[in-house]
């Protein structure tokens, strides 16, 4: 089946009102592309502002959320709050959450289940570190991270998988189109075996890791790469070229 191209922009911990206005301006001025789902993830203080100012064709996601609806969890936000802002998406399992903040596969799975049950769609991130790839453990690491949500029996229609090799995030190193396609193919085969052929065929698997306007078109030609999760490049006008990489 044809999977709709998906391009996410993860702003990470960057921005102020002035720079958000600049990003909003180039996104709002870009030509509408009905063949692409575009979702950007500002830092939490700017979620409502971005939502209020971006055109209808650009959706807004939170960068993280917790596994319960409310409570004594200082510094956290819940899917219920994200939904209350009129947003539909959250990023979970990003490598910076896993490796900087020490989030476990189990915690990320719990957060994913709660987000989905709360009506929030999930960009679920997986990926191996450089030493894991060099040791030949790429498949093992990505499958382990996926298995955590397979074991929860999640509903897959509201999940986009983002494969982001940690060694390629913000480093300027990018997996070659062939390297990325190989892992995406493994992920789709994993879904086919562990979930169902229908889910494997329908689930969008996007690539992240130093995606730029220069390499997006080649990456986007691969049959199992269904879009991108873009970091630093999503803060710049060239992000529009990435959105249109398949056009």
Positions annotated as catalytic residues are: 94, 164
Give CA–CA dist 15/146, Å, rounded: 31
- Residue 4's contacts (CB-CB under 8 Å, 6 or more residues apart) are 35, 36, 37, 204, 226
| Alpha carbons 24 and 29: distance in angstroms, whole number | 8
Who's near 236: CB < 8 A, 6+ residues apart?
A: none
- List strand residue ranges (DSSP E) for the chain, in order: 5-10, 36-41, 58-62, 89-92, 121-126, 159-163, 205-207, 227-230
Give the integer Cα–Cα distance in Å for 65 and 91: 8
Distances (CA, A) of 231 to 40, 148, 152, 158: 10, 25, 29, 22
Cβ pair 207, 142 in contact under 8 A: no
Token pair recorded at residue 229? 């999760």
Closest residue by Cα to residue 234 from 207, 212, 205, 215: 212
């Amino acid at each position: 089946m044809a999977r709709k191209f998906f391009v996410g922009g993860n702003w990470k911990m960057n921005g102020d009102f002035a720079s958000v206005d600049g990003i909003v301006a180039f996104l709002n001025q870009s030509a509408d592309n009905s063949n692409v789902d575009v979702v950007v993830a500002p830092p939490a203080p700017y979620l409502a502002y971005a939502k209020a100012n971006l055109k209808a064709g650009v959706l807004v996601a939170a960068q993280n959320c917790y596994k319960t609806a409310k409570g004594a969890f200082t510094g956290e936000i819940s899917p219920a709050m994200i939904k209350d802002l009129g947003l539909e998406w959250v990023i979970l399992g990003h490598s910076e959450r896993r490796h900087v903040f020490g989030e476990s596969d189990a915690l990320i799975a719990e957060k994913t289940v709660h987000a989905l049950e709360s009506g929030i769609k999930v960009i679920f991130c997986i990926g191996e570190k450089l030493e894991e790839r060099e040791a030949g453990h790429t498949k093992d690491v990505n499958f382990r991270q996926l298995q955590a949500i397979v074991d929860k029996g999640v509903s897959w229609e509201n999940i986009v998988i983002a494969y982001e090799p940690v060694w390629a995030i913000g480093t300027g190193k990018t997996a070659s189109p062939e390297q990325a396609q190989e892992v995406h193919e493994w992920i789709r085969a994993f879904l086919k075996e562990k979930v169902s052929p229908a889910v494997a065929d329908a689930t969008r698997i996007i690539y992240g890791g130093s995606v730029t306007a220069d390499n997006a078109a080649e990456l986007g030609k691969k049959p199992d790469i269904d879009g991108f999760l873009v970091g630093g490049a999503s803060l710049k006008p060239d992000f529009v070229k990435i959105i249109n990489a398949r056009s």
